[in-house]
Structure formats: structure tokens, C-alpha cells
Amino acid sequence: MRCPRCGNTDRQWFYKGSRGWYCRRCIHFGRALLQEESEPVSLQEVQAGAEEYMLKYPLTEAQKRVSEACLAKVRSSDVLLQCVCGAGKTEMVIETIAAMLKERKKVCFAISRRQVVLELSARLSGIFARSRVVPVCQGYTTVTDGDLIVCTTHQLYRYYRAFDLLILDEPDAFPFKGDPVLHGIAASACRGHCIYLTATPDRELERRVSKGTLYRLVLNQRPHGYPLPEPVIRTGFLPLRLVYLLHWINTHRKHPRMIFVPTIRLGKVLHMFLRLLYPVALCTSRTENRDEVIEHFRSDPQGMIVATTVLERGVTIADAQICIYRADHRIFDRAGLIQMAGRAGRTFAAPTGDVLFIQGEYSQTVRECREDIRRANLSCAV
Ligand SMILES: [Zn+2]
């Protein structure tokens, strides 16, 4: 027995109800009888002309190479697009998406975070002006079909064997990472091939690359050609950490500054302290008017924000300087640290930036993160 939705084969999860067998591992997506869900969901046909697109900036030579290789490979294999933060990974799959739409194939972009779904679908609507780009996530579930679907990984349960191309953006991000139910659901939503977009592939993706079931394309260069900012690491006990932080804040007072913290609690404390000295905002998963707070920060060229990992991915603030306070906290993994450091120097107008890691004690993870960034910079200098 195999659950057609989440791929579960473990017998202890199967129960027999009055209407037949069902799987309890994915029951929070609604009870589905095993025999009922084996029909692929039927979606509308892609409109003619949906494939027409316009990019604001032309691709760089390096991006073009990756984009072409991606299109060529995805016809016969799953593809891993491994590029540094800010390399323009969305731009590099546009050509592939267009080619699929032209053949009337169904394409889906799936992402862990709701906020990124909304931002990305707005961006894709601008790029594919003639196609119906539909965001599907919490609060946006009345319309679930279009030419191009952008959804949270949670919402993939609606699309049993529906997609010819499934693009999984940052599969190493919570909650997709490490959730076998979501992985199973993603696998059953795709009847064609997958593209994984990430700066930091996890062990499973690495394993598939070495087994030959996943084709890896690497781009370690940002479009503006500048290297990734290498983090400076400072270590010390509390008063010293605050001295480092205040010094950093003052050094960069002419720029927007993002200070990442590991926990909401620490965020509140640090925010309360800094507020005595500077205007500063706080953004955590519990911030109610989060969109407003982010917009306000975005509009202030000398603003400052204390944030938890809720802002770790997907948010681009021009000219942002990045500090990670308590980078040694166990909640931060290497992928997360690299993502946060990658918020710096992302735009043509401000291609450089400063990244500071402040830690309480020596951390191997922090050290490895810096090594990864160095390695990426070296490999693109060749
Ligand atoms: Zn299941």
C-alpha cells in the first residue's frame, strides 16, 4: 500500500474507515481515501501567448550559459541550480518556464514562505505580462489554477500529478526541509521534472548529484561581478558584544542596517536596548503589521531593523549592511547564516556591503559559513 499523496508506505499510518483505507501521515491536509486520489487533478490548458516575457535587465554571459544549460537538461533530468545568494536564480529559469508554457505545459513555482510567494508572483506577473500568474497560499486559495502557479510547498497537496515542471525554491528552508510529508507531496505533484534552486544544497540533494539522478549547475557570481561580502567574525562576552554592535551601527549609520537575532526574546531585549539610542524597528514572526514594518524599513535609506530569521530569505533591501548577533546560537545552521550574509550587496547600485558575525563563543558552524563564502568567491575568480 502506498499513499498517493505523501508517498507513505509505512503500514502503521494506514487506517481503514467506513469508506475505505486512508493515510494518517498526511491527514492534516484532509482525509483522502487511497483509491480516490489516484486520478491526476485536471487543470486548465495554458493560454496561447502565455510564454511571452520581458526581463528588466538582460542576463549576463554567465547567467545566460546557466539558463541555456538548465533548459537543455530539464527535459531529461531533474536539475539543481546552485548559485550564490543574489546571483539571480529566478531570472535563470525564466527561459525554461517560457519554453514549457509555449508547449502548453503546466509549471509551478513552490516556496516555503508565504511572503515570498506573494512577492515572487507579483514579480513573475511583471515578467510574463500576458499570462495569468496565480499565487496560492494561506489567504489566497479561491483561485488555484492559472498559466503559472506560485504556491507554498504546503499547497502542493492540491495538485496531484499536475505539473510538467516543478520549481522548488530553497528546498533547504523550513518547513519544507526535513519534512517527509511535504517532500512526498511535492514528489506526487510533479509528473515531469524538478528544478531545485538553492545557494546551500542539503545532504540529500548532494547525494542525488553524486548518484547521477540530479544534474548540478553552479553559478558563483552575482550579476554585478562583485564577490560576496565575507563576514567578519567577532567573539566576546556580553559587554564586549554590545561594544562591537554599537561600533558597527555607528560605522554604517549612513546605510540601512539589518541586525539578525536567533530568538524573538533576544530580539525584543536588543530592540528595547537599542531604542534608547537610535530609531530602530523590530520584525519577528509575531509582528502583526510585518508588511508595513518591512515597507517602512525599505523606504528609509538610513533605517535600522532587528529581525529574526523571518527575514532571512527572499527580502532584498538595497545597500543593506548585515550583522548577525549571536551567530553562534544553535538555531542558526550554515545555510541560514549564508542566506543572511547574502542579504548584503545585492544590487548594481550597491554591490558591496559589510557583514559582521558577533558570537559569544567559538562556533564551528560560523567558521564553516565563512569558508563556504570564501570558496564561492575563489571559484568565480578563476
Ligand atoms: Zn499520506
Whole-number Å distance, alpha carbon 20 to ligand 1 midpoint, is 14
Q: Would you say residue 339 lies in a domain? A: yes
**Residue corresponding to grid cell 544553535:** 330
Whole-number Å distance, alpha carbon 11 to ligand 1 midpoint, is 11
Q: Which of 189, 172, 159 is nearest to 112 (CA)?
A: 172
Region class of 166: left (phi > 0), else alpha (psi between -120 and 50), else beta = beta
- Per-residue pLDDT, 155: 95
Quick one: 155 and 236 in the same domain? no
- Per-residue pLDDT, 34: 79
Asked whether residue 37 carries a pLDDT value surpassing 60, the answer given is no
Q: What separation, in Å, do the N-terminal and C-terminal C-alpha atoms of the chain show?
A: 52
Quick one: 51 and 195 in the same domain? yes
Q: Would you say residue 67 lies in a domain? A: yes
Whole-number Å distance, alpha carbon 22 to ligand 1 midpoint, is 8
d(CA 131, CA 59): 21
Kindly state the average pLDDT of the residues 325-352. Answer: 91
Q: Which of 166, 191, 172, 183 is nearest to 109 (CA)?
A: 166
Whole-number Å distance, alpha carbon 29 to ligand 1 midpoint, is 9
Q: Would you say residue 108 lies in a domain? A: yes
Whole-number Å distance, alpha carbon 41 to ligand 1 midpoint, is 16
Q: Would you say residue 300 lies in a domain? A: yes
Whole-number Å distance, alpha carbon 44 to ligand 1 midpoint, is 26
pLDDT tens figures, 269-293 = 999 999 999 999 999 989 998 888 9
pLDDT tens figures, 206-232 = 999 999 999 999 998 888 888 889 999
- pLDDT band per the 50, 70, 90 thresholds, residue 382: very low
Quick one: 150 and 243 in the same domain? no
Quick one: 66 and 202 in the same domain? yes
Q: Would you say residue 226 lies in a domain? A: no
pTM of the model: 0.85
How far CA 180 is from CA of 3, 46, 186, in Å, comes to 13, 31, 10
Domain boundary among 196, 219, 242: 219
Quick one: 149 and 16 in the same domain? no
Whole-number Å distance, alpha carbon 199 to ligand 1 midpoint, is 30
Whole-number Å distance, alpha carbon 313 to ligand 1 midpoint, is 29
CB atoms < 10 A from the CB of 273, how many? Answer: 14
List, as ranges, residues with CB under 5 A of the ion ligand 1. Answer: 3, 5-6, 8, 23, 25-26
Domain boundary among 219, 244, 268: 219
pLDDT tens figures, 143-180 = 999 999 999 999 999 999 999 999 999 898 878 888 88
d(CA 70, CA 331): 34
Quick one: 32 and 55 in the same domain? no
Whole-number Å distance, alpha carbon 32 to ligand 1 midpoint, is 8
Quick one: 253 and 358 in the same domain? yes
Q: Which of 227, 92, 72, 101 is nearest to 165 (CA)?
A: 101
**CATH classification of the domain holding 140:** 3.40.50.300
- Per-residue pLDDT, 57: 86
d(CA 362, CA 234): 9
Residue 376 grid coordinates: 564561492
Quick one: 200 and 250 in the same domain? no
Quick one: 286 and 249 in the same domain? yes
Dihedral angle at the C-alpha atoms of 232, 237, 238, 240, nearest 10 degrees?
-60
Q: Which of 136, 67, 74, 81 is nearest to 105 (CA)?
A: 74
- Tell me the pLDDT of the chain averaged across its residues: 91
Whole-number Å distance, alpha carbon 34 to ligand 1 midpoint, is 9
Whole-number Å distance, alpha carbon 142 to ligand 1 midpoint, is 24
Q: Would you say residue 190 lies in a domain? A: yes
d(CA 214, CA 80): 7
Whole-number Å distance, alpha carbon 335 to ligand 1 midpoint, is 29
* Number of domains, the chain: 3
- Per-residue pLDDT, 314: 65
Domain containing residue 271: 232-381
- pLDDT band per the 50, 70, 90 thresholds, residue 1: confident
Domain boundary among 167, 197, 219: 219
Whole-number Å distance, alpha carbon 4 to ligand 1 midpoint, is 7
d(CA 288, CA 292): 9
Quick one: 179 and 200 in the same domain? yes
Quick one: 285 and 213 in the same domain? no
Quick one: 50 and 30 in the same domain? no
- pLDDT band per the 50, 70, 90 thresholds, residue 317: confident
Whole-number Å distance, alpha carbon 175 to ligand 1 midpoint, is 17
Whole-number Å distance, alpha carbon 67 to ligand 1 midpoint, is 35
Q: Would you say residue 361 lies in a domain? A: yes
Q: Would you say residue 118 lies in a domain? A: yes
Q: Which of 378, 274, 348 is nearest to 86 (CA)?
A: 348
